[in-house]
Amino acid sequence: MSRHLRDEVLWALSEGAGTSADRAHVDGCPACAARYQQLARDLKVLGQVLRESPPRQAALQPRRALQIRWAPAVAVMVATLLLLWGQEWLRVLTLPLSPLEARKNAETVRFLTKEIPLALFSTAELKPGKLPAHATNLAYLQAALDGGWPSEPCEPSRTTDCEPDPFSLFLEEYGH
Amino acid sequence: MGEYQIVPDEQSLYKEVYRAHHARIVQLCRLWLNDPHEAEDAAQEVFLKLFQASKAQEASFAWRAWLTRVTLNTCRDRRRSSWWKWWREKSVEFEEMLLPSREPTPEEEIVSREQRAQIWGLFRALSARQQEVFALRYVEGWSVEEVAQMLGITAGSVKQHLFRAVRHLRKALRGQR
Protein backbone atom coordinates (compact mmCIF):
# COMPACT_ATOMS: atom_id res chain seq x y z
CA MET A 1 0.00 0.00 0.00
CA SER A 2 1.37 3.41 -0.97
CA ARG A 3 1.41 6.46 1.30
CA HIS A 4 -1.87 7.90 2.55
CA LEU A 5 -3.57 10.62 0.55
CA ARG A 6 -3.29 14.25 1.52
CA ASP A 7 -6.35 16.17 2.75
CA GLU A 8 -6.32 18.19 -0.46
CA VAL A 9 -6.61 15.06 -2.58
CA LEU A 10 -9.41 13.69 -0.40
CA TRP A 11 -11.23 16.98 -0.71
CA ALA A 12 -10.74 16.97 -4.49
CA LEU A 13 -12.28 13.47 -4.55
CA SER A 14 -15.26 14.75 -2.57
CA GLU A 15 -15.69 17.42 -5.24
CA GLY A 16 -15.77 14.77 -7.95
CA ALA A 17 -12.24 15.54 -9.08
CA GLY A 18 -9.10 13.51 -8.46
CA THR A 19 -7.64 10.62 -10.37
CA SER A 20 -8.93 7.08 -10.59
CA ALA A 21 -5.77 5.97 -8.80
CA ASP A 22 -6.66 8.20 -5.86
CA ARG A 23 -10.17 6.82 -5.77
CA ALA A 24 -8.83 3.29 -5.92
CA HIS A 25 -6.53 4.13 -3.04
CA VAL A 26 -9.46 5.33 -0.92
CA ASP A 27 -11.37 2.18 -1.79
CA GLY A 28 -8.46 -0.01 -0.72
CA CYS A 29 -7.11 1.93 2.27
CA PRO A 30 -9.27 1.81 5.43
CA ALA A 31 -7.46 4.83 6.97
CA CYS A 32 -7.98 7.02 3.93
CA ALA A 33 -11.55 5.76 3.54
CA ALA A 34 -12.26 6.76 7.15
CA ARG A 35 -10.70 10.18 6.59
CA TYR A 36 -12.71 10.62 3.42
CA GLN A 37 -15.95 9.75 5.21
CA GLN A 38 -15.03 12.09 8.03
CA LEU A 39 -14.42 14.91 5.53
CA ALA A 40 -17.81 14.29 3.91
CA ARG A 41 -19.48 14.37 7.35
CA ASP A 42 -17.61 17.57 8.29
CA LEU A 43 -18.67 19.30 5.09
CA LYS A 44 -22.27 18.32 5.73
CA VAL A 45 -22.13 19.59 9.32
CA LEU A 46 -20.42 22.84 8.32
CA GLY A 47 -23.05 23.56 5.68
CA GLN A 48 -25.80 22.65 8.14
CA VAL A 49 -24.49 24.91 10.92
CA LEU A 50 -24.01 27.83 8.56
CA ARG A 51 -27.60 27.48 7.34
CA GLU A 52 -28.80 28.21 10.89
CA SER A 53 -28.99 31.62 12.55
CA PRO A 54 -25.65 32.77 13.88
CA PRO A 55 -25.21 32.39 17.63
CA ARG A 56 -24.53 35.36 19.88
CA GLN A 57 -21.86 37.69 18.58
CA ALA A 58 -19.99 37.59 21.87
CA ALA A 59 -19.56 33.85 21.53
CA LEU A 60 -18.40 34.16 17.93
CA GLN A 61 -15.40 36.35 18.43
CA PRO A 62 -14.22 36.07 21.99
CA ARG A 63 -10.64 37.02 21.14
CA ARG A 64 -11.55 40.01 18.99
CA ALA A 65 -14.11 41.26 21.48
CA LEU A 66 -11.45 41.09 24.18
CA GLN A 67 -9.02 43.01 21.97
CA ILE A 68 -11.60 45.67 21.29
CA ARG A 69 -12.38 46.11 24.97
CA TRP A 70 -8.70 46.49 25.70
CA ALA A 71 -7.98 48.86 22.86
CA PRO A 72 -9.67 51.96 24.38
CA ALA A 73 -8.07 51.21 27.74
CA VAL A 74 -4.63 51.01 26.14
CA ALA A 75 -5.28 54.22 24.20
CA VAL A 76 -6.29 56.04 27.39
CA MET A 77 -3.24 54.72 29.20
CA VAL A 78 -0.88 55.83 26.41
CA ALA A 79 -2.51 59.27 26.30
CA THR A 80 -2.17 59.61 30.10
CA LEU A 81 1.49 58.60 29.98
CA LEU A 82 2.16 61.13 27.21
CA LEU A 83 0.42 63.85 29.21
CA LEU A 84 2.41 63.03 32.34
CA TRP A 85 5.65 62.97 30.40
CA GLY A 86 4.84 66.33 28.78
CA GLN A 87 4.05 67.86 32.16
CA GLU A 88 7.29 66.58 33.64
CA TRP A 89 9.25 67.89 30.67
CA LEU A 90 7.66 71.35 31.04
CA ARG A 91 8.32 71.33 34.78
CA VAL A 92 12.01 70.57 34.26
CA LEU A 93 12.25 73.34 31.65
CA THR A 94 10.73 75.96 33.93
CA LEU A 95 12.64 75.00 37.11
CA PRO A 96 14.81 77.84 38.61
CA LEU A 97 18.54 77.12 38.24
CA SER A 98 20.70 76.32 41.23
CA PRO A 99 23.58 78.80 41.94
CA LEU A 100 26.13 76.26 40.70
CA GLU A 101 24.26 75.70 37.42
CA ALA A 102 23.79 79.46 36.99
CA ARG A 103 27.54 79.99 37.45
CA LYS A 104 28.32 77.26 34.94
CA ASN A 105 25.92 78.77 32.41
CA ALA A 106 27.42 82.26 32.91
CA GLU A 107 30.91 80.81 32.40
CA THR A 108 29.83 79.12 29.19
CA VAL A 109 28.23 82.28 27.87
CA ARG A 110 31.32 84.33 28.68
CA PHE A 111 33.54 81.78 26.95
CA LEU A 112 31.39 81.79 23.84
CA THR A 113 30.96 85.54 23.60
CA LYS A 114 34.41 86.76 24.69
CA GLU A 115 37.13 84.19 24.30
CA ILE A 116 36.18 82.54 21.04
CA PRO A 117 35.80 85.78 19.05
CA LEU A 118 39.06 87.04 20.53
CA ALA A 119 40.89 83.89 19.50
CA LEU A 120 39.41 83.85 16.03
CA PHE A 121 39.55 87.50 15.09
CA SER A 122 42.54 88.74 17.06
CA THR A 123 44.40 91.69 15.39
CA ALA A 124 47.12 92.08 18.02
CA GLU A 125 49.82 90.36 15.90
CA LEU A 126 49.10 92.35 12.76
CA LYS A 127 51.72 94.89 11.74
CA PRO A 128 50.40 97.76 9.80
CA GLY A 129 51.89 97.61 6.28
CA LYS A 130 52.19 100.19 3.63
CA LEU A 131 49.53 99.99 1.06
CA PRO A 132 49.76 102.09 -2.01
CA ALA A 133 47.63 105.06 -1.34
CA HIS A 134 46.61 105.49 -4.90
CA ALA A 135 47.05 102.28 -6.74
CA THR A 136 46.25 102.62 -10.38
CA ASN A 137 46.07 99.96 -13.01
CA LEU A 138 49.43 101.06 -14.28
CA ALA A 139 51.02 100.66 -10.83
CA TYR A 140 49.61 97.12 -10.60
CA LEU A 141 50.95 96.36 -14.08
CA GLN A 142 54.39 97.70 -13.24
CA ALA A 143 54.48 95.75 -10.00
CA ALA A 144 53.58 92.60 -11.85
CA LEU A 145 56.28 93.17 -14.45
CA ASP A 146 58.84 93.73 -11.72
CA GLY A 147 57.85 90.51 -10.06
CA GLY A 148 57.03 92.26 -6.84
CA TRP A 149 53.34 91.56 -7.06
CA PRO A 150 51.86 88.11 -7.12
CA SER A 151 50.82 87.44 -10.62
CA GLU A 152 50.36 84.43 -12.85
CA PRO A 153 51.47 84.26 -16.43
CA CYS A 154 48.50 84.45 -18.70
CA GLU A 155 48.20 82.58 -21.91
CA PRO A 156 47.50 84.75 -24.86
CA SER A 157 43.82 84.57 -25.49
CA ARG A 158 42.77 82.33 -28.30
CA THR A 159 40.73 83.92 -30.97
CA THR A 160 39.19 82.74 -34.15
CA ASP A 161 39.69 84.47 -37.44
CA CYS A 162 36.29 86.03 -37.15
CA GLU A 163 36.85 87.51 -33.70
CA PRO A 164 39.22 90.40 -33.23
CA ASP A 165 41.82 90.01 -30.47
CA PRO A 166 40.26 91.69 -27.39
CA PHE A 167 43.66 92.67 -26.03
CA SER A 168 44.67 94.62 -29.13
CA LEU A 169 41.29 96.31 -29.14
CA PHE A 170 41.89 97.30 -25.52
CA LEU A 171 45.29 98.77 -26.41
CA GLU A 172 43.81 100.60 -29.32
CA GLU A 173 41.17 102.11 -27.15
CA TYR A 174 43.15 103.02 -24.05
CA GLY A 175 46.82 102.98 -25.11
CA HIS A 176 46.60 105.74 -27.67
CA MET B 1 -50.24 56.61 -8.19
CA GLY B 2 -46.83 55.67 -6.72
CA GLU B 3 -43.79 54.75 -8.72
CA TYR B 4 -43.81 51.22 -7.39
CA GLN B 5 -47.45 50.49 -7.98
CA ILE B 6 -47.59 47.11 -9.63
CA VAL B 7 -50.25 45.30 -11.53
CA PRO B 8 -51.58 42.03 -10.02
CA ASP B 9 -49.47 39.77 -12.26
CA GLU B 10 -46.25 41.50 -11.31
CA GLN B 11 -47.27 41.50 -7.68
CA SER B 12 -48.00 37.79 -7.68
CA LEU B 13 -44.68 37.07 -9.38
CA TYR B 14 -42.84 39.19 -6.83
CA LYS B 15 -44.66 37.53 -3.94
CA GLU B 16 -43.96 34.10 -5.31
CA VAL B 17 -40.24 34.73 -5.73
CA TYR B 18 -40.08 36.51 -2.37
CA ARG B 19 -41.71 33.58 -0.56
CA ALA B 20 -39.45 31.08 -2.25
CA HIS B 21 -36.18 32.87 -1.59
CA HIS B 22 -36.60 35.21 1.39
CA ALA B 23 -35.15 32.93 4.08
CA ARG B 24 -32.26 31.92 1.83
CA ILE B 25 -31.35 35.50 0.97
CA VAL B 26 -31.53 36.66 4.58
CA GLN B 27 -29.26 33.79 5.57
CA LEU B 28 -26.76 34.67 2.85
CA CYS B 29 -26.73 38.27 4.08
CA ARG B 30 -26.15 37.05 7.62
CA LEU B 31 -23.26 34.96 6.38
CA TRP B 32 -21.60 37.76 4.45
CA LEU B 33 -22.30 40.64 6.83
CA ASN B 34 -21.40 40.64 10.50
CA ASP B 35 -24.10 42.99 11.69
CA PRO B 36 -27.54 41.29 11.83
CA HIS B 37 -29.31 44.63 11.35
CA GLU B 38 -27.25 45.39 8.31
CA ALA B 39 -27.99 41.88 7.02
CA GLU B 40 -31.71 42.60 7.32
CA ASP B 41 -31.24 45.92 5.52
CA ALA B 42 -29.24 44.25 2.77
CA ALA B 43 -31.94 41.62 2.30
CA GLN B 44 -34.53 44.39 2.01
CA GLU B 45 -32.35 46.08 -0.61
CA VAL B 46 -32.12 42.82 -2.56
CA PHE B 47 -35.91 42.43 -2.53
CA LEU B 48 -36.39 46.01 -3.62
CA LYS B 49 -34.21 45.19 -6.62
CA LEU B 50 -36.26 42.05 -7.13
CA PHE B 51 -39.42 44.16 -7.03
CA GLN B 52 -38.06 46.42 -9.74
CA ALA B 53 -36.76 43.52 -11.82
CA SER B 54 -39.97 41.52 -11.52
CA LYS B 55 -41.68 44.13 -13.69
CA ALA B 56 -39.31 43.44 -16.56
CA GLN B 57 -38.75 39.71 -16.24
CA GLU B 58 -40.90 36.66 -16.65
CA ALA B 59 -41.70 33.94 -14.16
CA SER B 60 -39.43 31.52 -16.01
CA PHE B 61 -36.42 33.75 -15.38
CA ALA B 62 -33.58 32.16 -13.39
CA TRP B 63 -34.49 34.01 -10.19
CA ARG B 64 -32.41 31.87 -7.87
CA ALA B 65 -29.13 32.62 -9.63
CA TRP B 66 -30.10 36.25 -10.18
CA LEU B 67 -30.99 36.79 -6.52
CA THR B 68 -27.79 35.11 -5.36
CA ARG B 69 -25.72 37.36 -7.59
CA VAL B 70 -27.60 40.48 -6.49
CA THR B 71 -27.19 39.47 -2.83
CA LEU B 72 -23.48 38.90 -3.36
CA ASN B 73 -23.03 42.35 -4.91
CA THR B 74 -25.22 44.08 -2.32
CA CYS B 75 -23.25 42.54 0.55
CA ARG B 76 -19.97 43.41 -1.14
CA ASP B 77 -21.06 47.04 -1.56
CA ARG B 78 -22.10 47.20 2.06
CA ARG B 79 -18.85 45.67 3.25
CA ARG B 80 -16.91 48.23 1.21
CA SER B 81 -18.95 51.22 2.34
CA SER B 82 -19.16 50.23 5.97
CA TRP B 83 -15.46 49.77 6.68
CA TRP B 84 -15.67 52.65 9.08
CA LYS B 85 -18.22 50.74 11.13
CA TRP B 86 -15.55 48.18 11.91
CA TRP B 87 -15.09 49.39 15.47
CA ARG B 88 -18.77 49.36 16.22
CA GLU B 89 -19.45 46.07 14.48
CA LYS B 90 -16.69 44.17 16.23
CA SER B 91 -17.70 45.34 19.65
CA VAL B 92 -21.43 44.93 19.21
CA GLU B 93 -23.08 42.37 21.43
CA PHE B 94 -26.59 41.83 20.29
CA GLU B 95 -29.10 39.84 22.21
CA GLU B 96 -30.09 36.41 21.11
CA MET B 97 -33.73 37.53 20.96
CA LEU B 98 -32.81 39.66 17.95
CA LEU B 99 -32.12 36.52 15.98
CA PRO B 100 -35.22 34.39 15.82
CA SER B 101 -33.94 30.88 15.48
CA ARG B 102 -35.88 27.68 15.32
CA GLU B 103 -35.28 24.76 17.64
CA PRO B 104 -32.41 22.59 16.44
CA THR B 105 -33.33 19.29 14.89
CA PRO B 106 -32.01 16.05 16.47
CA GLU B 107 -29.38 15.96 13.70
CA GLU B 108 -28.28 19.47 14.55
CA GLU B 109 -28.12 18.60 18.23
CA ILE B 110 -25.11 16.39 17.42
CA VAL B 111 -23.10 19.54 16.95
CA SER B 112 -22.72 21.18 20.31
CA ARG B 113 -23.55 24.81 20.99
CA GLU B 114 -19.86 25.57 21.48
CA GLN B 115 -18.97 23.92 18.20
CA ARG B 116 -21.60 25.94 16.37
CA ALA B 117 -20.24 29.15 17.89
CA GLN B 118 -16.73 28.08 16.97
CA ILE B 119 -17.73 27.29 13.38
CA TRP B 120 -19.38 30.68 13.00
CA GLY B 121 -16.41 32.36 14.61
CA LEU B 122 -14.00 30.64 12.23
CA PHE B 123 -16.27 31.43 9.29
CA ARG B 124 -16.18 35.12 10.26
CA ALA B 125 -12.40 34.90 10.35
CA LEU B 126 -12.24 33.72 6.72
CA SER B 127 -11.41 36.21 3.98
CA ALA B 128 -14.37 37.75 2.16
CA ARG B 129 -13.62 35.62 -0.91
CA GLN B 130 -13.41 32.40 1.11
CA GLN B 131 -16.70 33.24 2.82
CA GLU B 132 -18.30 33.81 -0.56
CA VAL B 133 -17.10 30.59 -2.15
CA PHE B 134 -17.86 28.47 0.91
CA ALA B 135 -21.37 29.84 1.32
CA LEU B 136 -22.15 29.48 -2.36
CA ARG B 137 -20.77 25.95 -2.58
CA TYR B 138 -21.70 24.31 0.74
CA VAL B 139 -24.58 26.40 2.04
CA GLU B 140 -26.24 27.19 -1.27
CA GLY B 141 -25.12 24.09 -3.13
CA TRP B 142 -23.92 25.69 -6.37
CA SER B 143 -21.33 23.75 -8.33
CA VAL B 144 -17.72 24.92 -8.47
CA GLU B 145 -18.22 26.06 -12.07
CA GLU B 146 -21.36 28.01 -11.19
CA VAL B 147 -19.60 29.65 -8.26
CA ALA B 148 -16.70 30.57 -10.54
CA GLN B 149 -19.13 32.12 -13.01
CA MET B 150 -20.93 34.09 -10.28
CA LEU B 151 -17.73 35.44 -8.83
CA GLY B 152 -16.06 36.00 -12.18
CA ILE B 153 -13.02 33.91 -11.31
CA THR B 154 -11.65 30.60 -12.56
CA ALA B 155 -12.81 27.23 -11.26
CA GLY B 156 -9.25 26.57 -10.12
CA SER B 157 -9.28 29.70 -8.03
CA VAL B 158 -12.62 28.71 -6.52
CA LYS B 159 -11.21 25.31 -5.57
CA GLN B 160 -8.19 26.92 -4.00
CA HIS B 161 -10.29 29.28 -1.85
CA LEU B 162 -12.71 26.50 -1.07
CA PHE B 163 -10.08 24.06 0.14
CA ARG B 164 -8.46 26.70 2.35
CA ALA B 165 -11.84 27.57 3.84
CA VAL B 166 -12.67 23.90 4.45
CA ARG B 167 -9.30 23.26 6.08
CA HIS B 168 -9.79 26.29 8.31
CA LEU B 169 -13.37 25.50 9.30
CA ARG B 170 -12.67 21.84 10.04
CA LYS B 171 -10.43 23.00 12.88
CA ALA B 172 -13.59 23.90 14.79
CA LEU B 173 -14.87 20.34 14.46
CA ARG B 174 -11.52 18.68 15.08
CA GLY B 175 -11.07 20.67 18.27
CA GLN B 176 -14.02 18.84 19.80
CA ARG B 177 -13.23 15.39 18.52
Q: Hey, what's the torsion of the CAs at A150, A156, A162, A166, to 10 degrees? A: 30
Indicate whether B5 pLDDT > 60: no
| pTM (two decimals) | 0.58
Task: Establish if A129 touches chain B: CB-CB under 8 angstroms.
Answer: no
Instruction: Choose the closest CB to B90 out of A17, A39, A68.
Output: A68
CA distance A80 to chain B (A): 22
Label residue B173 by pLDDT band (50, 70, 90): confident
Written as one string, the DSSP assignment of chain B is --TT---HHHHHHHHHHHHHHHHHHHHHHHHH-S-HHHHHHHHHHHHHHHHHHTTTS-TTS-HHHHHHHHHHHHHHHHHHHTGGGHHHHHH----GGGS--PPPPHHHHTS-HHHHHHHHHHHHHS-HHHHHHHIIIIIS---HHHHHHHHTS-HHHHHHHHHHHHHHHHHHHHTT-
CA distance A68 to chain B (A): 6
Nearest C-alpha in A relative to B23: A51
Average pLDDT over every residue of B12-38: 89
pLDDT tens, position by position, A60-71: 554 454 555 677
Average pLDDT over every residue of A41-64: 74
The overall average pLDDT reported for chain A is: 77
Average pLDDT over every residue of B89-94: 48
Nearest C-alpha in B relative to A9: B163
Indicate whether B166 pLDDT > 90: yes
* B30–A65 C-beta distance less than 8 A: no
**pLDDT for the residue numbered A99:** 85
Average pLDDT over every residue of A99-124: 83
Instruction: Choose the closest CB to B93 out of A46, A48, A58.
Output: A58
Residue pair A68/B89 in contact by the 8 Å Cβ criterion: no
| Rounded percentage of chain A residues whose pLDDT exceeds 70 | 66
CA B117 – CA A55 distance, rounded (Å): 6
**pLDDT for the residue numbered B53:** 85
ipTM value of the model?
Answer: 0.76
